[in-house]
Amino acid sequence: MLDDKIREARERLNESIITGRDYEEIYKLSVELDELITEYYIGNGNKTEK
């Protein structure tokens, strides 16, 4: 579920960069992606450390 949100956010960000969208829009999408990735790592805690 969160994986899908991250994938979709990454796709939107990449598309906005490729199509040359406004810097503010790219920045907003980048921050959104960063927040989702942070949420993912916080939620997985020690699961990623083995």
pLDDT at 22 > cutoff 50: yes
Work out the pLDDT band at 9, boundaries 50, 70, 90: very high
Instruction: Give the pLDDT mean for 12-31.
Output: 98
User: Given this model, what pLDDT does residue 7 score?
Assistant: 98
- Convert the pLDDT of each residue in 30-49 to its tens digit: 999 999 999 999 988 656 55
Domain residues of the chain, as ranges?
Answer: 2-45
Long-range contacts of 1-6 (CB under 8 A, 24+ apart): 2/36, 2/39, 2/40, 2/43, 3/40, 5/36, 6/33, 6/36, 6/37, 6/40
